[in-house]
Amino acid sequence: MARVMLIEDHEDVQIVLREFLEQAGHTVRLARLGRDAMDDIRALEYDLLITDVVLPLVSGWDLIEHARKLRGDLPIIAISGGAPSLSAEAALRLSTLKGADGVLEKPFRRDQLLHMVAALLQPDARPI
């Protein structure tokens, strides 16, 4: 299965998403801050990046752009519940513009996440 980098600043959401992914057979590396993930993306090999777009310090949008520069072929899923000054729909549209291959709006179901993960891990299956 895939090696997944998951960046989510809310611990409860992080735990649930990790469980979903690990139950599906994926190996998951966690980060709470975008700046921590930037170093990992450069140093480690991942098959998929999943990031919340609203993160402290370094946003998920910045992280997506950074990942695109380092690895243009890396599948990326952006997730968002929206920011106080930005609707969830606008946040997800911006994520796509920044280079995300798929977007999910919180709350989403386990099957939605796993379907998108499976689709993005298929060769020539992007974007969603």
* Secondary structure E strands in 23-128: 27-31, 48-52, 76-80, 102-105
What pLDDT, on a 0 to 100 scale, did the predictor assign at position 39? 80
- Tell me: the pLDDT tens digits for 101-117? 988 888 899 999 999 99
Going from N- to C-terminal start, the domains of the chain cover 3-121
**pTM across the whole model:** 0.86
Alpha-carbon gap, residue 39 to 108, rounded angstroms: 28
Decide: 61 and 53 in contact? Cβ < 8 Å.
yes
- Tell me: the pLDDT tens digits for 54-94? 888 888 889 999 998 888 889 999 998 655 555 656 665 66
Superfamily name with CATH number, domain 3-121: Response regulator (3.40.50.2300)
**Residue 59: HSE in the Cβ half-sphere, 13 Å Cα cutoff:** 12
